[in-house]
Structure 1
Amino acid sequence: MLNGARLTVAVAETKIIDDGAVRVLWFRAYRTAPENQPSRATSFGTSPYGDADGKSGQKGEGNGAAERDPVRPVVDIQGIAHSADSLPEATHQVVANGVPVIDEPKPSTSEALMAIQTAPPTPITPPNPAAITYDDTVDENGQKKVIHWKKPIEYYPVAEEDLIRLPTGTPKKMPRIQHEFGAETVEERTIREERRDKVKEEFLHAWKGYKQYAWGHDEVGPVKGGVRDPFCGWAATIVDSLDTLWIMGLKDEFESALEQVEKIDFTTSPKTSIPVFETTIRYLGGLLAAYDISDAKYPVLLTKATELGEILMSIFDTPNRMPVLHYQWQPHSANERHRAAGNSNFAELGSLTMEFTRLAQLTGEHKYYDAVARITNALVEWQERGTEIKGIFPDSVDASGCNATAIPVEPEEASQKATPRRPLSMDEICRPQGLTPGPSRQSYSMGGGQDSTYEYFSKMWLLLGGLDTTYRTLYTNTMDAIRNHLLYRPLIPGDRDVLFSAKMQINPYLPPDRSHEMVYEVTHLTCFIGGMVGMGAKLFDLDADIPIAERLTDGCVWAYEATTSGVMPEDARMFPCENPLDCPWDEEKYNKLLDPRWSLRAQEVEDYDVEKVRKEKVRKEMAEKKAKEEEEAKEAPLLAEDGVDPIVPRTNETSTGYSLGGDAPPAANINKKRAASSNDTVPLAKDLPEIPHVAPSKTSTPGVPLNPHERSLPKQREDPYRPFTHEEFIADLLGRNNLPLGYARVEGDKYILRPEAIESVFYLHRISGSPQWREKGWKMFESIIAATRTQIGHSAFVGVNREPAGQRKQDSMESFWLAETLKYFYLLYSEPDVAA
């Protein structure tokens, strides 16, 4: 995983209409690597499939109107605007950075919307001055000149006749993905609509905060009301949220946002480097999704998407047409020759296909499709050539296309220090090659750094109407690898049969018997996989994968329920079941797995107790001896008068050679034995942290306590130097580390408003029709809102397994919170024909 890399992805759903034509529902998704990697956003929209000649395929009635222009998507969005005037008021607690709890009434949807519309944002002209970059010169009016991107020299152009063109022909009839829902009862509808409207209220609450404090900027700080511009300052939250505004029926807000979108200048930015992946997902995908979902009624959206697409096309101007993923856009850098990195991030490399393909379909410009089709072809060649795990790819990729050879040296210098004859260009020392693993340790997983590329395979097959079987092959090969190598069942309380996807790490520099390591992880980013597997099962007639999708999704639901806050951590580790077919909860076994030295602890405690008794005995004997010597010393002056030397009191050294201060002789020093494990270090009693009382965690398994503090230690130990017993060690580990029962370790004790888990819950609900997913989703929603709500919006927080008083908000609200997370919650409680 590349440190600091932000990983992102796009997803799509489909709608099958009576005439067999297919529509794509866009869902952009942000992915990120373990640390300092937030992201996964989602766009939403629909699009028809048509060939390059402008024909949509088969004719039909009603929604499947015949012979549609391929650049004009067809959308059904009836019933997406609903009144919530009758909703009861509620109070919410706002706890942030130790600020006292504030109770505030929640306005109804209508009241919240009215507040937004009647309170104009702080005027900003231009929309975001922070997004403008100036050089050191001034114009004739004394104003600083703005640095703009200009189309650079093209060193490796593709001739028109060599472009890979969009597939043509009649799109295939797609299998039905969504469950056929029956009529709902009055009670079911009432509950569903109340929940949907509460989701909408939370969206409006956060949108109002962004509009008031950060309009035109990328993000708002939901705790302090500050602004952030991590994505070039082009108003990421606005662009990313356009489709959500439309789906929720907020047309006035949508059109207000469009006014800001029209002002965005993609040719300048305070960032000297454009993060290609994030820009493609949040901006290009956001614009295209909004264009599609609004039935192409707002041409400015396609205009701005094309402007951005033209700039991003420069990233493909490399010898092998593999993209530069961090684009130096300023003219002095853009006009230089470029080559793709030797350590490119796999998710970033393979997750550009959806947006560029859709841009090609809408504009008729095949160059956009050619750019990403060449990446796909390279992946196919690599998959056929083979990787360490057949079917999937490592997270770090050498995309340079260059196998650098040794620089030649003069013959007479061969026995001396090799010195280059002259500097050589990369092209001169390069032997062409395809994609290969990067230079570092290889990691194979469905998590951050890889996820979105795999997610795109099935969605690209949909987007192209099944006319390119390449993507079906890539997907099915990927699924074979997942089933055979990555899936595992965790040891958790109760009898829930869930699955997670592991990570295989391979160090090519170690011997084969020590080079492979399996990491049994559960990460929020990986939680998208349930939805992907469920959708793929429907698309490619893989019926046996439906139960796998359900178990994967329920695994992430359990990860939420197992914590004190009801929200799962960013990254954690689990213990795998030895037998996935028979894995009952065994707390004794679980405790032993937590404490690998459990079998030694009893003996250590016994040795310590014996040694302590011995030392006490020695101390007592020496004290008695010292008292006797001091008594005898009182007579010394009298004896001295008779010419006898006075008795000099002895020090507290004994014949054994160690101090009576309490240290044992070297041979008996049990502390040296304990020093072998860093987990055994015991602090002084005064340094031991107070173990807070934590209320029982939520669980769907009755009778199974998930509160790790039920076995917590006293606040202070009588003898802080005494080794822990196995039971004491477990209680201290669970309490001091706030470890949820069932987890092996928590690596990232935070939640950054990610959508992956609720995304899969939404998918499984629409695929299966089971009401259980709406119930599970609602528990997740209530927990998330309780832990993240502020007066301005919603904030990422640290401390998922702590009570509210122990949680700490991070003053961050990324655009995917509005663009994806709340959108999935809203769709979960919408009518089945909304985004069907």
Structure 2
Amino acid sequence: MMFSHRRKTLVCLLIGFLVMLSLINLSDLDAGGFIPGRAGTRPYRGAGPDVDTDDDPNFFWRNIPIRYPVQSMSPLPTGRARPLPKIQAVFGKESAEEKESRRQRRDAVKKTFVRCWESYKAHAWMSDEVAPISGRARNPFGGWGATLVDSLDTLWIMGLRQDFDLAVAAAANISFETVTSDEINVFETNIRYLGGFLAAYDLSGDKRLLRKAKEVGDMLYAAFDTPNRMPITRWRAREVAQAKGVEQVAGDNVLLAEIGSFAMEFTRISILTGDPKWFDAAQRITEILERQQDSTALPGIWPLVVNAKSQAFNGHNAFTLGAMADSTYEYLPKTYALSGGRLASYRKMYEKAAATATNHNFFRPMIPDEQDILISAMVKVRADEGGAARSQLDPEGQHLVCFAGGMFAIGAKLLELPGHLEAAQKLVDGCIWTYQALPLGIMPETFHMIPCPSRTGSCPWNETLWKKEVLLKHGIDTEDVGQANTIIAKNRLPKGFTKIGDTRYILRPEAIESVFVLYRTTGQKYLLDAAWAMWKAIEKNTRTELASAALADITVTDGELPPKLDSMESFWMGETLKYFYLVFSEPDEISLDEFVFNTEAHPFRIQAP
């Protein structure tokens, strides 16, 4: 049958359009074969064979005898996922100049990642870390290639496809039967290895990664084989492996983060495999947290230390969102999102915890420019002379607790808590301010400040009060201003800081994490400039010939580069560089409406309605 002239014209136009489109796509490809801006929207099937994810019947950890089998398994949530409120802001069209600036910044971050990755390949391939000054290989996380696994999704996101395929092929051969350490940290193994494999699978669809996730999951599940099914958090896995199983009992002094941060990884692997055993393991912990949340000394949040052996999660008196507790709180709204809103208990727990932390743990510091910012700190609850409980704030800030701003931003949008977005803004601004206040433009690990009398109203700067508090914080009971000036000069204290307890910067991601999240949730452009200032300071001061190094002292003021430590943890490439790259990427790159990040910055796909 003959085509009409009109149909011929349409066909020619269509062919021409397809050719033009293919040329445009080819022009956008970088050396790794990656189309920028679309990593999170098209599953990639990988270069390897279509590997069957059925378990190897000879897999070591699955064949370890179980002493305390589960009698009643919690089923995975059923029913359709709920439509969730949008987390990401609606971004307008950027100018050509803004686009070019953003892409140049993104590519600068990528260049640093490539330099670090090449050094890892050359000097520490398949080891946990490369030492960035000496080039030595290190194995602090089980010797299973922590940097390799932590970097899988970063390689994918940055479009480094050849290296991604190389890394997947190598990771597929990691033996989790061999345990090189006397003791492994189950929490770290969960967030780095299980989280790393799951996220890389969610992005790429390569079934070899799901198989490795199941192997790690089975190993971790063996740590839950205790009489009450509570995990051993500092686990003598080698002893268990050599003896083919031993009697295990959960600890009586366990850090909250190390027992309360399995929900995301264990829920995701159960959803992907259909096996509820991991979800059940995490759910048992969640039920204790929920049941005892209102009975702690600071109702709404849990103490820093809990008793897993007796299942008493309400006995201690120190409360923080910071180090050693952080990800338990972070996982509450994120697990709710991950499940498609089908696990309502996580929403309820988060709302209670956020309310308590806002009222008790956040303080406004007295600072010279009187900016209205917030810092999150530790609270201890003690009985007064009459026996009544009294809470006392320890106004210590931490770089690690900077994650809280991002958590509050996600909670505000996801759970429709608009007042929480203001708290998120002030928390993130607090971390940005702290970066800018230090001479190198980098925030220290820990520091103390003076709380304002109130979080509302004015908080005028008082230099005399600041110097008095500097003296007290350094254990000197005098009002001698001259002595205060000596301490300030000796310790290089910027105005507003009464003490810097830990002057290191260990390549942490939490500040840029929250800047990234707040930018994605609000679209405020000043955050891009803040992120770039942070990046320039970090890149300038941490760069080595091989990679990037942690810093021993970020208070130096002599114009010289700060002393470096021969350390580069895997989270530098798995988290910090990833967040810097994403904040300068197109807003739909790993959209927060499609993915939720675990505490090691590994993005899991949210259950769609």
Alignment counterpart, residue 291 of structure 1, candidates 192, 196, 201: 201
1:395 aligns with 2:304: yes
Q: CA deviation at 1:300?
A: 0.7
Residue of structure 1 aligned with 2:575, choices 787, 801, 820:
820
Distance change >3 Å, CA 82–CA 588, structure 1 → 2: farther
- The match for 1:762 is 516
Q: Residue 299 of structure 1: CA displacement?
A: 1.0
- Give distance in 2, aligned partners of 1:80 and 1:587: 58
Contact 1:80 1:834 in 2 (8 A): no
Mapped to 1, the partners of 2:285 and 2:103 lie a distance apart of 44
Asked if structure 1 preserves the Cα contact closer than 8 Å seen for 2:383 and 2:389, the reply is no
Preserved contact between residue 503 and residue 519 of structure 1 (Cα < 8 Å):
yes
**Counterpart check, 1:436 vs 2:233:** no
Match of 1:463 among 325, 338, 341: 338
Residue pair 1:81, 1:250 contacting (<8 A) in 2 also? no
Residue 352 of structure 2 is matched in structure 1 by 477
Q: Which amino acid aligns with 1:679?
A: I
Pick from 532, 535, 542 the counterpart of residue 410 of structure 2: 535
Q: 1:679 aligns with which of 438, 461, 476?
A: 476
Corresponding residue for 1:833?
588
- Report the Cα distance in structure 1 between the residues aligned to 2:512 and 2:106, rounded to whole angstroms: 14
Say if 1:511 and 1:264 are closer, same or farther in 2 by CA, change over 3 A. Answer: farther
Equivalent runs, 1:124-273 vs 2, <5 Å: 151-159=63-71, 162-273=72-183
TM-superposed deviation, 1:370 = 0.7
Partner of 2:212: 304
Alpha-carbon distance between aligned partners in 2 of 1:382 and 1:835, rounded to the nearest angstrom: 35
Q: Is the 8 A contact 1:280 1:355 kept in 2?
A: yes
Return the alpha-carbon distance in structure 2 between the equivalents of residues 80 and 207 of structure 1.
25
Shift of residue 776, structure 1, vs aligned partner: 0.5
Superposed displacement of residue 81, structure 1: 7.1
Q: Which residue of 1 aligns with 2:543?
A: 789
Deviations along 1:440-465, one digit per CA (max 9) or x if unpaired, are x6310110111100000001111111
Does the 8 Å CA contact 2:119/2:546 hold for their aligned counterparts? yes
1:272 shift after superposition: 2.4
Secondary structure at the counterpart of residue 365 of structure 1: coil
Instruction: Report the secondary structure of 1:797's partner residue.
Output: coil
User: Contact between 2:397 and 2:448, CA under 8 Å: does it hold in 1?
Assistant: yes
Most deviating of 763-772 and 503-512: 503-512
SS at match of 2:497: coil
**Aligned residue runs from structure 1 range 68-83, under 5 A:** none
- Aligned match for 1:452, one of 296, 320, 327: 327
Q: Which residue of 1 aligns with 2:392?
A: 517
Q: CA–CA distance in 1 between the matches of 2:389 and 2:293?
A: 25
Where does 1:573-584 land on structure 2 (aligned, <5 Å)?
573-580=448-455, 581-584=457-460
Q: What's the offset of the Cα at 1:826?
A: 0.4
Matched, 1:545 2:420: yes
Per-residue deviation at 1:514? 8.8
What do the CA deviations read for 1:77-117 (whole angstroms, capped 9, x no partner)?
Answer: x99977599xxxxxxxxxxxxxxxxxxxxxxxxxxxxxxxx
Task: Tell me: CA distance 1:320–1:547, structure 2 relative to 1, closer, same or farther (3 Å).
Answer: same
Structure 2 counterpart of 1:323: 231
Q: Which residue of 2 aligns with 1:490?
A: 365
TM-score by length of 1: 0.62
Asked if the contact 1:796–1:811 (Cα under 8 Å) also holds between the matched residues in 2, the reply is yes
CA distance in 2 between partners of 1:300 and 1:279 (Å): 19
Cα 1:579/1:834, change in 2 over 3 Å: same
1:274 corresponds in structure 2 to 184
Write 1 or 2 for the structure with the bigger share of helix.
2
Whether the aligned pair in 2 keeps the contact of 1:79 and 1:834 (CA below 8 Å) is no
Larger Rg: 1
After superposition, residues 334-345 of structure 1 pair within 5 angstroms as: 335-345=245-255
In the alignment, what sits opposite 1:502? Answer: 377
Equivalent residues of 1:328, 1:334 under 8 A apart: no
**Distance of aligned partners of 1:80 and 1:250 in 2 relative to their CA distance in 1, 3 Å threshold:** farther
Shift of 1:244: 0.5
Provide the rounded CA distance (Å) in 2 between the counterparts of 1:151 and 1:390. 42
Residue of structure 1 aligned with 2:481, choices 706, 727, 750: 727
Match of 1:430 in 2: none
- What is the alpha-carbon distance in structure 2 between the residues aligned to residue 151 and residue 216 of structure 1? 26
Q: Is the 8 A contact 2:231 2:259 kept in 1?
A: yes
* Cα offset, 1:545, TM superposition: 1.0
The answer to whether the 8 A contact 2:88-2:520 is kept is yes
Checking the alignment, whether the CA contact within 8 Å between 2:194 and 2:265 is kept in structure 1 is yes
Counterpart CA distance in 1 for 2:390 and 2:243 is 40
Aligned partner letter, 2:461: W
Deviations 1:389-437 (A, max 9, x none): 0100001101102xxxxxxxxxxxxxxxxxxxxxxxxxxxxxxxx4234
1:588 and 2:464 matched? yes
State the AA in 2 paired with 1:742.
G
Are the equivalent residues in 2 in contact too, given 1:505–1:518 (CA < 8 A)?
yes
SS of residue in 2 equivalent to 1:766: helix
2-structure distance, mates of 1:285, 1:514: 40
Partner SS, residue 778 of structure 1: helix
CA positional deviation for 1:805:
2.9
Partner Cα separation in structure 2 for residue 340 and residue 567 of structure 1: 39
2:436 paired residue among 549, 561, 564: 561
Which residue of 2 is the match for residue 743 of structure 1? 497
Does structure 2 retain, via aligned residues, the 8 Å contact 1:84–1:197?
A: no
| 1:314 has 2:219 as partner | no
Name 2:534's counterpart in structure 1. 780
Q: Is the 8 A contact 1:319 1:339 kept in 2?
A: yes
Q: Please name the residue that 2:553 is paired with.
A: 799
Q: Distance in 1 between matches of 2:244 and 2:235?
A: 8
SS of structure 2 residue aligned to 1:751: coil
Q: Is the 1:507–1:515 contact (alpha carbons within 8 Å) kept by the matching residues of 2?
A: yes
For the 8 Å contact 1:798–1:808, the answer to whether it is kept is yes
The alpha-carbon distance between structure 1 residues 343 and 596, as it changes in their structure 2 partners (threshold 3 A), is closer
Structure 2 runs not aligned, ≥5 long: 1-24, 33-59, 592-609
Letter in 1 for 2:578: K
Counterpart of 1:797, as a letter, is: L
Structure 1's 291 and 84: CA in aligned 2 closer, same or farther, altered over 3 A? closer
1:678 Cα deviation after fit: 5.6
> Helix, strand or coil for the counterpart of 2:397?
strand
In 2, are the aligned partners of 1:491 and 1:577 still within 8 Å (CA)?
Answer: yes
Normalising by structure 2, we get a TM-score of 0.84
Report if the CA contact (8 A) 1:80-1:248 is conserved.
no
C-alpha displacement of 1:333: 5.3
Cα pair distance change 1:544/1:732, threshold 3 Å: same
Cα 1:323–1:510 change in 2 (3 A) is farther
SS across alignment from 2:461: coil
Displacement of 1:227: 1.2
Alignment partners' CA distance in 1, 2:479 and 2:404: 41
C-alpha separation in 2, matches of 1:744 and 1:827: 35
Secondary structure of residue in 2 paired with 1:477: helix
- After TM superposition, give the deviation of residue 728 of structure 1 in Å: 1.7
**Is the partner of 2:447 in helix, strand or coil?**
strand
**Residue identity in the other structure for 2:484:** I
Rounded to whole Å, the distance in 2 between the matches of 1:83 and 1:300 is 25
Distance across 2 between alignment mates of 1:394 and 1:528? 19
The Cα shift of 1:509 comes to: 11
Where has structure 1 moved over 6 Å in runs of 4 or more?
78-82, 508-511
